[in-house]
Structure 1
Amino acid sequence: MMSPAATRRLRLRPRPRHWGIATRSAIVAATVVLVALVVAGAGLTGLLNHYLISGIDEAAATRLYDVTTALRTESPPDVDGALLDTDQRVVAIQILTDDNRVAFGSTDAPNTPLVPVDAVGTKPTRLTGNSVPDDDLRIIGQRVDTPHGSYTVLVAGSSELAETTVQTVALLLCASAPLVIAVVAVATYLLVKRSLRSVDAIRARVAEISTSDLAERVPRPDSHDEIAALADTMNAMLARLETGHNAQRQFVGDASHELRSPLAAIISALDVAQVHPELLDQDLLDTTLIPEAQRMQSLIDDLLLLARADERGLKLRVEDLDLRPVIETEADRLRRGTRLTVHTDVVEARLSGDAQALSRMLRNLADNAARHAHSRIDISSREQDGTLVLIISDDGPGVPQADRLRVFDRFVRLDSDRSRNGGGTGLGLAIVSEIVAAHGGTVTMTDRPGGGTAVSVQLPIRRSSDSSR
């Protein structure tokens, strides 16, 4: 059983999953190099041994051929002495008689036959295994008939030099392998550690960034590698977060400001009524309390709609409908509620969409046009290339070119014409943009011929069976 101290030491020992990336990379690299060196070393020593042994066998076979060739024309004493010389590969040569005696041989050859005569045939015979007296000897022999009688020639090569050479190479490889592995491990560790400095800098900077200050950016290394791409991605994400955070903060501030006005009017009227109860009459209700409460309710409804659109998109109740009656209804409402001339030129336009949402879109566009028109509003629709084009224009002051995209943002008013006193909250066109986008359409603002503003809505004409909603 382990002692408590040993148990504590075991717990404190860092586990592999707690190692850093540089350490793990160095270990993996060292392991790969070790395996590669083992495989390469085994292959190299095997090939080297095969090459050296083949050289010895070839030298012995060549010497055997030369001696047997000389014996066919000359008697053994007349054979060239150079054919019986030995070297590092050929270590012994014997010429045996039929009665198994050594007739002639090299200087270092033993006086007894290396192998029995009957073990050799008339063709070159390689002798291995138990028939060889020494494991280091590689003997090849041949029986040859000459004019002077029959002889058996034995040539012995030694594999000792080859084995020594292979062992030396193996020892050198084993001695150099730890050094190579250590160099690879250290180089890998330092390289990965250096590469991770940029990641550590990015991590440290991200840890310092708070929601109160999203203007900070992570440092980008000068290299053009994956870490630089990570820094670019992080900075792009921070830019989006900053934009979204600023928009949210602006949205909350504008919403609070918009709600403050009707609440202030209602509270002021109630304070007056509390001091002078006789003033709380139908006129105060009709001119102050009810209009301001309705305005606050409308603003809250708009805010809720936009919040739902931001969270998960607008949920549409899609059905096949004809938009022309909806357009005519809005035109009649404008005629009854204003002194403006309202002209319509609409065609039957059946499409797939949410009737309530499209009606709200038309009402917001109509109210926006009525709020800024001097005397006339034109509403027209037509089909074009599978698209319903709806245009609502007014003869008001118009919108500058630079502001025609911005007016579809939230709480945007361009001038005093679009002040709170005019009845607008700055959310109408933003809701129009959300509804049109939910139906797969587009909305743009252009100049009206003759002066004023024209808002063009393009909606795809499709049936509910073709809709993805």
Structure 2
Amino acid sequence: MPSIDLLRHPSRWGLRARSALTAAAVVTVVVVFGAIVMLTLLNRALYGAADSYALGRISEISDRLHSAAPADLPADLLAPDSHVEIVQILDPSGAPIRSTTGAPSGPLITVPDSGTVTGIRAEPDLRVSARRTHGPAPATVLVAVSVDPADDVLKALVAGLALSGPIVVAAAAAATYRLVGRSLSSVEAIRSRVADIGASQLSQRVPIPAAADEIARLATTMNGMLARIEAGHAAQRRFLADASHELRSPLSTVIAGLELARDHPETVDTAMIESTLLPEAMRMKNLVDDLLTLAAADDHLLTLHRTDVDLDDIAATVLDLVRHTTTVELSGQLAPARISGDPGALTRVVRNLVDNAVIHARSTVTVRTVQGAADARVIVDDDGPGIPATDRSRVFDRFVRLADDRARATGGAGLGMPIVAEIVAAHHGTVRIDDSPLGGARLTVTLPVAG
């Protein structure tokens, strides 16, 4: 039953069988069409050549009849040769006056009133042409030529095509079947290799065929995809390890404080809560919020509540807040700059930029806002050590610190700049790092005015 079902549904056949069948069908159509065209052209050529022999003999006899009577014509003009079989000269009534020896007693064909015919089939193996002459004695000249040679050639060609056509079709189908099979062997090698690659073997790659064809491009694309999956898997493991490390420290502090409060409640006072437990809890909360923001960005679920936003007002608010928490000199050159965006998200961007600059600055941080025709920019400069050009792209990777230590006061969690990059990208903007005129780093956020 399965085989019968497959025969009823060719669409379920394998690619090799369908390709071979398609090739056979196409070659069959081409062979049949070519055979018809070839036979038609050859038929015209062979019969045209036969008619030309007849017309040549008619012209020769007609020229003689212009100056001589039919009875005076030499016998060789009426004699057969390798092409001409029968010659008849008819009087105006249609009766033969002179004929080739052994010719029928009656006319081979009935000549129409026009007096001229070419290539009329008189017998199975004869073609007759006729022409009326107007000499001293009006007459009609009929010449019959044999078409046996032409018929033999056509029959031989038809037989040859009938025999060779199926062979050509079968050869084309077999070649297609084998060629597709060889191509699919590379695909099967790719499939089997991919099937063997597990989560712990992402470093493996599929074989790339030597031929620079579509299969090789497929293998190259597959290897690129595996490389991206491997990089994503490694980043995920690194992300989990770094997140666990960052959460473990404040969580351990909070647990230790709670255990101390349980075992020795008299030692826990307001100062300890405010100086140790609450900052660690807030640090843990901020880290969780950052992780949720990045997770939402990864899933394209970072929601923006767009409205008209004045970047200069946001920058002024952030500067006022940060001045109370640092000894670094903060200055602003805030020109009016309005865009369409999410006020809360953009406030977070400016705050992260300023906090990052304050952490690395020696003494000075400046913030500027600039309004352009199609975009607005927030520019933050510091006089710190700067960021090497080779590390500027790494700054936006998660949990990346350029400082050697992991201190919470200097290194941070390494999520501030990745959050900046995600929020700016969600606003269809860009963030760039350059050298600052103050000697440190310059971070420039460019946001389109229309969002």
Residues 413, 419 of structure 1: 8 Å contact kept: no
Q: What residue number does 1:311 align with? A: 299
Distance 1:391 1:150, change over 3 A: closer
- 1:361-372 to 2 correspondence within 5 Å? 361-372=349-360
Q: 1:415 to 1:105 in 2, by over 3 A?
A: same
Task: Return the alpha-carbon distance in structure 2 between the equivalents of residues 342 and 396 of structure 1.
Answer: 13
Unaligned residue ranges in structure 1 (runs of 5+): 1-6
- CA shift digits 1:272-331 (9 cap, x unpaired): 333223334333422333222211111111111111112116332222232333323222
What aligned pairs does 1:245-256 form with structure 2 within 5 A after superposition? 245-256=233-244
Contact residue 376 and residue 448 of structure 2 kept, 8 A: yes
Q: Could you tell me which residue of structure 1 aligns to residue 213 of structure 2?
A: 225
Gap change, CA 1:401 and 1:75, over 3 Å in 2: closer
Which of 319, 324, 327 aligns to 1:336? It is: 324
Match of 2:290 in 1: 302
Q: Which residue of the partner structure matches residue 139 of structure 1?
A: 128
Q: Is 2:328–2:363's contact at 8 Å kept on the other side of the alignment?
A: yes
Name the CA distance, whole Å, in 1 between partners of 2:53 and 2:320: 116
Q: Does the 8 A contact of 2:385 with 2:441 survive in 1?
A: no
> Are the counterparts in 2 of residues 411 and 427 from structure 1 also a CA contact under 8 Å?
yes
1:444 maps to 2:432:
yes
- The answer to whether the Cα contact below 8 Å between 2:382 and 2:438 also exists between their aligned partners in 1 is no
Amino acid at match of 2:258: L
Q: Tell me if 1:327 matches 2:315.
A: yes
- Give the corresponding residue for 1:458: 445
RMSD over aligned Cα atoms: 3.0
Asked if 1:32 corresponds to 2:19, the answer is no
Q: Distance in 2 between matches of 1:423 and 1:176?
A: 82
CA distance in 2, matches of 1:8, 1:456: 68
Change (3 A) 1:208 1:51: same
Q: Bigger shift: 392-401 or 231-240?
A: 392-401
In structure 1, the partner of 2:57 is: 63
For the pair 1:124 / 2:116, whether they are aligned, the reply is yes
Distance 1:166 1:333, change over 3 A: same
Q: Is the 8 A contact 1:439 1:459 kept in 2?
A: no
Aligned to 1:16: 10
CA distance in 1 between counterparts of 2:383 and 2:252 reads 34
Where 2:299 maps in the other structure, the secondary structure is helix
Q: 1:440 to 1:103 in 2, by over 3 A?
A: closer
8 Å contact 2:115–2:131 — kept in the other structure? yes
Distance 1:305 1:81, change over 3 A: same
In the TM superposition, residue 399 of structure 1 has moved relative to its aligned partner by: 3.8
1:191 aligns with 2:183: no
2:349–2:420: 8 Å Cα contact kept in structure 1? yes
Aligned to 1:108: 102
Q: Distance in 2 between matches of 1:259 and 1:431?
A: 18
Aligned to 1:353, which of 319, 331, 341? 341
The answer on whether the counterparts of 2:360 and 2:385 sit within 8 Å (CA) in structure 1 is yes
- SS of the equivalent of 1:244 reads helix
Consecutive unaligned residues of structure 2, counting only runs of 5 or more, are none
> Which one is further off, 156-165 or 306-315?
156-165
Deviation for aligned residue 1:150: 5.6
Query: 1:38, CA displacement in angstroms?
Result: 1.0
Please report the TM-score for the alignment, with normalisation by the length of structure 2. Answer: 0.88
Q: Are 1:282 and 2:270 counterparts?
A: yes
Does structure 2 retain, via aligned residues, the 8 Å contact 1:441–1:457?
no
Preserved contact between residue 424 and residue 447 of structure 2 (Cα < 8 Å): no
Cα deviations across residues 407-426 of structure 1 (Å, max 9, x unaligned)? 22211122255523547211
Note if contact 2:132-2:139 (Cα within 8 Å) is conserved in structure 1.
yes
**Cα distance, 1:341 vs structure 2:** 3.2
Q: Counterpart of 1:3? A: none
* Structure-1 separation of matches of 2:179 and 2:404: 63
Amino acid at match of 1:456: L
Q: Which moved more, 1:120-129 or 1:366-375?
A: 120-129
SS in 2 for 1:337: coil
Matches within 5 A, 1:196-215: 196-215=184-203
Q: Say if 2:432 and 2:443, in contact at 8 Å, map to a contact too.
A: yes
- The verdict on how the C-alpha distance between 1:144 and 1:189 changes in structure 2, with shifts beyond 3 A counting, is same
Moved more, 341-350 or 303-312: 341-350
The change in CA–CA distance for 1:423 and 1:112 in structure 2 (over 3 A counts) is: closer
Moved more, 105-114 or 386-395: 386-395
Instruction: Tell me, yes or no, if the aligned pair for 1:95 and 1:152 is still in contact at 8 Å.
Output: yes
Does the CA contact (< 8 Å) of 1:350 and 1:461 recur in 2? no
Q: Is the 8 A contact 2:332 2:368 kept in 1?
A: yes
Identity of aligned residues (%): 43
Residue identity in the other structure for 1:232 = T
Q: Is the 8 A contact 2:382 2:441 kept in 1?
A: yes
**How far does residue 230 in structure 1 lie from its aligned partner after superposition?**
2.0
Give the match for residue 391 of structure 2: 403
What residue in structure 2 maps to residue 4 of structure 1?
none
